[in-house]
A and B are shown apart, each in its own frame.
Chain A
């Protein structure tokens, strides 16, 4: 049980980082941490007691495998996360180019 909680703690750390930090790069790192927390939690829902990795090979039987579906889903989620992160980093680099700073308190073109 505690291991599930730890994933949620990781997720909460990421959220704290997103909401509290002022540096754009740190916010992006916060997003990545929160993402990993969610992915780890999803992977953990697959676990069965004494399960082995769900790889089908010639000699193995299908008993005692962990649930393979969340692995596939998390792989998809990781790919999506990669795309989002790359896009956000590109935007952050453009922001640095225009404003010359990573500090969000100094980037105030828009109000409210």
Chain B
């Protein structure tokens, strides 16, 4: 066992986490990228992606999770998601309107369709995933820090 396995929960939880966490992440990505043709979308997918990291943190402790996604990176992605969404909206001005769907719509029920909506989904996913992870981290670390002080 390597050193990073010393903290966190028991072996069973860790093993199952190791097996499932990739699948959860993948499922989140599926929900996001398929959001414009089936139920789902940026918000739901972003939440699932954030949950995969939170899952990792619960099972292995904060160090391992921060190695995958540190706080600064999370806050960077959060701002990036917001900026991306705004840029997509502003690019609509090229067609004359704010938030105009300026890319060709394509056929319904195909993966590459619906114009800017998949791009918006990705931006929302970045914002929501990083934001939710950030909220969780902020609340947990606040508790840990105040616990250490006592």
* Chain B residues engaging chain A, CB cutoff 8 angstroms: 38-39, 43, 109, 135, 138-139, 142-143, 146
Interface string of A58-87 (1 = CB under 8 A from B): 100000000000000001000100000010
Please tell me which one of the listed residues A58, A79, A89, A97 contacts residue B146 in the complex, with CB atoms under 8 A apart. A97
Minimum-distance CB pairs A-B, first 8: A97-B146, A86-B135, A93-B142, A58-B109, A55-B39, A90-B139, A79-B43, A90-B138
Q: What are 20 residue pairs bridging A and B, where the CB atoms are less than 8 Å apart in the complex?
A: A55-B38, A55-B39, A57-B109, A58-B109, A75-B43, A79-B43, A86-B135, A86-B139, A89-B139, A90-B135, A90-B138, A90-B139, A90-B142, A93-B139, A93-B142, A93-B143, A93-B146, A94-B142, A97-B142, A97-B146
Chain A contact residue count (CB 8 A cutoff): 11
User: Within the complex, what minimum Cβ distance (angstroms) separates B75 from chain A?
Assistant: 15
User: Within the complex, what minimum Cβ distance (angstroms) separates B140 from chain A?
Assistant: 10
CB neighbours of B146 from chain A (8 A): 93, 97
Complex CA–CA separation, A75 to B143 (angstroms): 30
Residues of A83-109 whose CB lies within 8 A of B? 86, 89-90, 93-94, 97
